Chain A
Amino acid sequence: MLRLALKSLLANKIRFALTTSTVVIGVGFVVASFVVADSLRASFDKLSEDIVSGTDFTVRGQLTFGDLTETEAPLLPEELVDQVAAVDGVESAAGTFFITGVTPVDGAGEVVTSGNAPVAGANWTDDAAISQWYLMEGEQPRGAGQFAIDISTFGSYDFELGRDYQVITPTGPRTFELTGVMQFGFPEDAGLGAVFSIFDTATAQELFGLEGMVQTIGLRTEPGRDAAEMQAAIAAVLPDGAEVVAAETISEEFSDAFEGFIGIFQNALLVFAFIVLFVSTFIISNTFSIVLGQRIRELSLLRAIGATPGQVRRSVLTESSLIGVAAAALGIGLGMLGALGMRGLFSALGAELPDGPLPLRLRTLIWAAAVGIGLTVASSLLPAIKASRTPPIAGLAEGAGGEAAARQRWRPIAGGLLAGLGLLLTLRGLFASFNSTTAQLVSLGVGAGLVFMAVAVLSPLMARSVVSALALPLGRIFGTSGRLARANAARSPRRTAATAVALTIGLALVTTVAILGQSLKSSFSQSLQNTVAADFIVSQGQESLPAALAEDLRSADAGRVVAFNSVQAQVGGEAHTITGADLDGITTVANLGVVEGSLDGLDPAGDLLLHQDPAGDYGVGPGDDLDLTFPNGETRRLRVAAVYSQTATFWGNWLVDRGLVTEMSPTAGDTVVAVDAGAADAEGVRASLERALEQYPQANLEDRSEYQASAESNLNTLLVLVNVFLGFALLIALVGIVNTLTLSVFERTREIGLLRAVGMTRRQARRMIRWEAAVVTLYGALIGIALGLGFGAAIAAAIPADIIDVITVPTNQLLLYLVLSLVFGLLAALFPAFRAGRMNVLEAISTED
């Protein structure tokens, strides 16, 4: 049976290649996802180790709640460094800083950027092992006028030792002499693309506005000391609110924190990989059905000469296992290339991933093999069972290749059940409340998957009539070849449906994304229209702005300046993001839509403005008090002054004075600075703002429409990324159409030969095949877009109103998709049409089958 399977594969090389390619792409995607994520893991694990190598313990402010990634630990008093150093057995201790939002400007005036890595300031320590800053060139910066820069920034930007450069710090832009080039970690650089400006400790404290404080204390104990005893001894000298943590624990914490986002990243990629695999399943299964249908004579002969149904089944399954093995092996190779491609894609879209090795772990190989072989075999299971039921006399019956017209009563029932269950799970995923996002996504994903399966099951019931209706104009436009194309598209509803379903899934997802994207944009634009009254907005992407910027704008006397920052706080055990804003001017830049209470005479120290949702949740209104606990451990009782109804990107559900946020989190920069021109001439105000911002080249000054455009362009980047990944599902669909059509053309060799014999020209033959493909794709596309409309609208409705409150359908885009599908179908038909056109008339009509 193995020999039979091998022979059958070799005899049909094109089909073998096409079938395999769909699995290869899917497996490649899985492999690339794992490899890229593992590569990130390797880099960040190294970073997590380097952060603490050279220290045995870290002393830091205790986090009252949340974890490292969400909040920053409170600062420590500087004196604590000496007290810790004085503990018996401590060899060396030093205070260290890592403050984001410290941006150098190079010799060409270019602001140094990093993609997604932090742009930060740090201090070096005498004991280099503690800060991990090693001098590579020049001299350590000393005093208020000197700084050093990290080695990778030094290499990629225009910097020279001994010259003066501007560095924008939280306390404003300053000029420093560049005295050294430093490297984080030794012997290898572990900076991972982050940009660092390095100062001596006193300068760092002053620049960051943190005089008398340190962020963390790194320390090393004398060799041979007992770790537990040392930890206890150090803990004994610490004040309340500080803790001593072993280096390994810190390293693990970082590792876990990094794994948090690497895991999400990996799973997001895997979701796309599984979409591709899901789509491939339909293609593989369809291919096997067609091929086995064509081999019915051969199979019945086998059965007639004594092959048992089991043997036939095994032979088919052996064939599919072989395809699976080949596909898995090729997929691993493609995946490694794909990993490089993914890196390239991310960097092209401005989200650079760190360069590093591309580790191919055993887990990845196991997944590749399991997915590649498992999926192929599973997809061939039904066709194999059907083939094993071939009666020995089947080959004698005329009309092989035609479809049994038997009414399939199970279809509406099974389809209905699948659809019902699928919709239920989808809606549950959208609207029920979940404890974990994973559970919610699984419910949503499985639901959508079931709906697609329902479509696959139900589609053959309507394929014939819908396709005939869609193709009605073809006869009028193209005459006989058009009519034949229509008849061919409708002749095997099951095949047409199975071919179209891959495209349906792809387009449904693309359409869903299009609707969500468009709805996000229009909701954003509407919220900007209705709730943001500011004329100009200053921001720096995801980075925060130095607090000094707002003061400088204020002194420029150009309109009303309102800065926003934010901090986390706990209320009744639950953490919330608290927005800080200059409350006295808030009404000039924000339309809060106050529903209760008033914004008159606000007390910056004790007043809280609350959105109506949390006000309802906590059952409070104007005049009521709430206790907010901040990351530094302090609890403040604030009075609700007003309840409002509008949020925007600048502010969320909780609004307090910006000074309060700065007090609770001294390292918090401003997220955005809004300016209201008032009655003054907007152009004039803009000019003054631009002048004031000259010393902050990293800051973007935008009016409202510019601000909206750049927010949309960020969203567009994300949408492009998602669409590129979904594009692979569409690619599979294309392969599926090519595959089916090639097989159908082969199956109709005699018929096409006959048509050519009685006078159909090559061009007419090609046209007939092309439009058959076009009709099938159009059918798949229409269902896909319809499903996508449903999914998109449902998801948009389920997304909270402060993110999406207007559901918008991008009609033009959807029409474009429809047209593209048509083009897609015509393209898919190129090869099969070429084969049909080139078919030798005589060979065709003398084909024995």
Chain B
Amino acid sequence: MTDTTTLAVAARAVGATKIYGAGDTEVRALDAIDVSFEQGRFTAIMGPSGSGKSTLMHCMAGLDTVTGGQVFIGDTDLSTLSERDLTLLRRDHVGFVFQAFNLVPTLNAIENITLPMDLAGADGDPAWIDEVVDTTGLGDRVKHRPNELSGGQQQRVAVARALAGKPQIIFADEPTGNVDSNTGAEILDFMGRAVTEMGQTIVMVTHDAAVAARADRVVFLVDGKIVDELADPTPEGIRDRMNRLGT
């Protein structure tokens, strides 16, 4: 991890601004944010509730559009894309893990994992998919429907889906927010391995300093602005920063 400066950028925001409402009720969820996420790195986003973490994830993943500035996935400027192209970009180049309800209830685990590829009518890389499925540790439960899986298993399937299409970047918004800490650790291990062993790029929102400490870098968000960041963080370092930021 010495030559970080030469790494290619998987996604970046330039002056990204998101304003909800107008006039008196105007909320500036993102306020001219400049940030880059390099390939093969695991970034954690932290900040108080309402600071704009989810908004940033959504805008960068092409689920939402910024009202000012630009967002790039690789070299593609999302603001130039039509609704359809944005959808195809999400399908082919971005992975996403939500806090909950990540899976389609009528599809079994393996079908959920290959869903983006199936939607594209593509086969994907079978060896890679096998590997991803293996790492979920689901075994023969991959043929089960989501309602027959535990919360942790469901989230691992969600991460596996994000990984299966070899996207340029994966955004995860509090992926462990809805599970107990043991399960959370399981999921986090899984994501960590995806970065270190599979070379994935992951950006993850979390409230938990211990969780954030697993990342290569932590970015702190307050009132829609990036106020600080830490490289190679430790839990203590993170708590220290957070206390200073008043959360």
> A residues engaging B (CB < 8 A)?
399, 402, 479-481, 483-484, 487-488, 491, 750-751, 754-762, 764, 841-842, 845
Q: Are A759 and B87 in contact (CB under 8 A)?
A: yes
Inter-chain contact A754/B87, CB cutoff 8 Å: no
> In the complex the two chains form, is B106's CB within 8 Å of A479's CB?
no
**Per-residue A-contact encoding for B108-130, CB less than 8 Å = 1, 0 else:** 00010001101111000000000
B118 touching A479, Cβ below 8 Å: yes
A757 and B86 CA atoms in complex are apart in Å by 10
Write 10 A-B pairs (CB below 8 A) sorted by A numbering: A479-B118, A480-B115, A751-B104, A754-B102, A755-B104, A755-B119, A757-B96, A758-B116, A759-B120, A845-B63
Asked if residues A480 and B101 are in contact (CB atoms below 8 Å), the reply is no
B147 interface contact, C-beta 8 A = yes
Pick from A480, A750, A755, A761: contact of B88, CB under 8 Å: A761
Residue B72 is within 8 A (CB to CB) of chain A in the complex: no
Task: Let me know if A479 and B63 touch, CB within 8 A.
Answer: no
Taken together as a complex, chains A and B put the C-alpha atoms of A762 and B90 apart, in Å, by: 13
Q: Is the CB of B101 within 8 A of A754?
A: yes
The residue in chain B whose Cβ has the minimal distance to the Cβ of A475 is B118
The CA of A617 and the CA of B165, in the complex, are separated in Å by 84
The answer to whether A759 and B91 touch (CB under 8 A), given A480-B119, A842-B64, is yes
Task: Compute how far the CA of A84 lies from the CA of B144 in the bound complex, rounded to whole angstroms.
Answer: 99
Shortest distance in angstroms between A234's beta carbon and chain B's nearest beta carbon? 87
Provide the residues of chain A in CB contact with B90, threshold 8 Å.
757-759
What per-residue 1/0 map shows which CB atoms of B183-218 lie under 8 Å from chain A? 000000000000000000000000000000000000
A758 & B101 in contact (Cβ 8 Å cutoff):
no
A478: nearest chain-B partner, CB-CB: B121
Cα separation A849 to B45 with both chains bound (whole Å): 27
The answer to whether B106 and A487 touch across the interface, beta carbons within 8 angstroms, is yes
- Does more than half of chain A's interface fall in helix, strand or loop, or is it mixed? helix
Chain B: which residue is nearest A761 at the CB level? B87
B83 interface residue (CB < 8 Å to A): yes
For B64, list chain A residues within 8 Å (CB). 841-842
Which A residues are CB-close (under 8 A) to B121?
479
A484 to B92, CA, bound (A): 20
State the CA gap A764–B91 with chains docked (Å): 13
Q: Which listed residue (B88, B92, B104) contacts A754, Cβ 8 A?
A: B104
Q: Whole-angstrom distance between the alpha carbons of A233 and B118 in the complex?
A: 100
B120 contacts across to A, CB distance below 8 A = 759
Contacts of B83 in A (CB 8 A): 762
A762 CB contact (under 8 Å) in B87, B102, B105: B87
Contact B106–A488 (Cβ < 8 Å): yes
Given contacts A755-B104, A761-B84, 14 further A-B contacts (CB under 8 A): A399-B147, A402-B105, A479-B121, A483-B111, A751-B101, A754-B98, A755-B115, A757-B90, A757-B98, A758-B115, A759-B120, A761-B119, A762-B83, A841-B63
Determine the chain B residues whose CB is within 8 A of the CB of A488 once the complex forms.
106
Alpha-carbon separation in the docked complex, A479 to B107 (Å): 13
Q: How far is the CA of A51 from the CA of B184 in the complex (A)?
A: 94
Say if the beta carbon of B161 comes within 8 Å of chain A.
yes
* Chain B positions within 8 Å of A750 at CB level: 101
Residues of B within 8 A of A402 (CB): 105, 147
A484 to B103, CA, bound (A): 13
Residues in B whose Cβ lies below 8 Å from that of A484: 104, 106-107
Contacts of A756 in B (CB 8 A): 87
Question: Residue of B at shortest CB range from A847?
Answer: B101
**Distance A757 CA – B103 CA, assembled complex (angstroms):** 11
Complex alpha-carbon distance, A484 and B115, angstroms: 10
- What is the 8 Å Cβ interface bit string for chain B, positions 169-190, against chain A (1 contact, 0 not)? 0000000000000000000000
Residues of chain B within 8 A (CB-CB) of A399 are 147
Alpha-carbon distance between A760 and B63 when the two chains are bound, in angstroms: 12
Residues in B with CB closer than 8 Å to A758 are 90-91, 96, 115-116, 119, 161
A309 to B58, CA, bound (A): 43
Q: Which residue of B lies closest to A487 (CB)?
A: B106
| A842 and B88 contacting across the interface, CB-CB below 8 Å | no
Chain B residues with CB below 8 A from A845, complex form: 63, 98, 101
The interface size bin for chain B is 20 to 34
Distance (Å) between the CB of A762 and the closest chain B CB? 7
Whether A487 and B88, one on each chain, are in contact in the complex, defined by CB atoms closer than 8 angstroms, is no
- The interface residues of chain B lying within 8 Å CB-to-CB of A759 are 87-88, 90-92, 116, 119-120
Report the bound CA distance from A378 to B107 in whole Å. Answer: 37
Please, how many angstroms separate the alpha-carbon atoms of A563 and B153 in the complex? 89
Taken together as a complex, chains A and B put the C-alpha atoms of A663 and B116 apart, in Å, by 90
Q: Which residue of A lies closest to B161 (CB)?
A: A758
Known A402-B147, A750-B101, A754-B101; contact A760-B107, beta-carbon cutoff 8 A: no
For A757, the chain B residues whose CB sits under 8 A away are 63, 90, 96, 98
Nearest 9 interchain pairs by C-beta: A759-B91, A487-B106, A480-B118, A759-B116, A759-B90, A761-B87, A480-B119, A758-B116, A759-B119
Q: Chain B nearest CB: distance from A533 CB in Å?
A: 67
B108 → chain A closest CB, angstroms? 10
A372 to B169, CA, bound (A): 58
B110 to chain A, nearest CB (A): 13
**Bound: A754/B158 CA distance, A:** 11
Q: Give Cα distance in the complex from A469 to B90, angstroms.
A: 33
Closest residue of chain A to B83 (Cβ to Cβ) is A762
A725 to B107, CA, bound (A): 42
- Within 8 Å CB of B58, what residues of A? 842
* Min C-beta distance of A696 to chain B, whole Å: 72
In the complex formed, the residue of B with least CB distance to A480 is B118
Give the residue name and chain of the B residue nearest to A485 (CB): B106
Q: Which residues from chain A contact B105 at a C-beta distance below 8 Å? A: 402, 491, 751
CB of A478 to closest CB in B, whole Å: 10
Given the complex, which residues of B lie within 8 Å of A764, measured CB to CB? Answer: 119
A841 contacts which chain B residues (CB < 8 A)?
63-64
In the complex, the answer to whether A487 meets B91 with C-beta atoms within 8 Å is: no
Q: Which of A480, A483, A758 counts the most chain B CB atoms within 10 A?
A: A758
Tell me the bound Cα distance from A761 to B119 in angstroms.
8
Nearest Cβ on chain A to B87's Cβ, whole angstroms: 5
Give chain A nearest CB distance to B177 CB in angstroms.
13
Determine the residue in chain B with the shortest Cβ distance to A841. B63
* CA–CA, A101 and B65, complex, Å: 81
The residues of A that contact B161 with a CB separation of less than 8 Å are 758
Chain B residues contacting A842 (CB-CB under 8 Å) are: 58, 63-64
Binary interface encoding of chain B residues 70-95 relative to chain A, with 1 for a CB under 8 A from any of its CBs, else 0: 00000000000001100110111000
Which one of B98, B103, B116, B119 contacts A479 once the chains associate, using CB atoms below 8 Å? B119
Q: How far is the CA of A294 from the CA of B104 in the complex (A)?
A: 18
Bound form: Cα–Cα A416–B84 in Å: 51
**Given A750-B101, A841-B63: A760 in contact with B106 (beta carbons within 8 A):** no
CA distance A764 to B98 in the complex (A): 22
Which residue of A is nearest B112, CB measured?
Answer: A758
A738 to chain B, nearest CB (A): 22
Docked Cα-Cα span, A484 to B84, in Å, equals 20
Residues of chain A with a CB closer than 8 A to B63's CB: 757, 841-842, 845
Bound Cα distance A841, B58 (Å): 10
- Tell me the minimal C-beta distance from B59 to chain A in angstroms: 10
Using CB atoms, name the residue of chain A closest to B95: A758
Interchain CA distance A751-B103 in the complex, whole Å: 8
Task: Give B151 Cβ to nearest chain A Cβ, in Å.
Answer: 9
Chain B residues near A761: list those with CB within 8 A. 84, 87-88, 119
> For residue B93, which residue of chain A has the nearest CB?
A759
Q: Complex formed: what's the CA distance from A268 to B156 in Å?
A: 64
Which residues from chain A contact B102 at a C-beta distance below 8 Å? 754
Q: Which residue of A lies closest to B106 (CB)?
A: A487
Residues of chain B lying within 8 A (CB to CB) of residue A481: 119
Give the residue among A755, A756, A760 with the most B Cβ atoms within 10 A. Answer: A760
Given the complex of chains A and B, what is the CA–CA distance between A597 and B133 in angstroms? 91
Known contacts A487-B106, A754-B104; A760/B98 CB under 8 A: no
Q: Give the Cβ gap from B172 to chain A, nearest Cβ, in Å.
A: 13
Q: B28-71, CB under 8 A of A: which get 1 and which 0?
A: 00000000000000000000000000000010000110000000
- Do B147 and A760 touch across chains, with their CB atoms under 8 A apart? no
What's the nearest-Cβ distance from chain B to residue A90, in Å? 90
Chain A residues with Cβ below 8 Å from B103 are 754
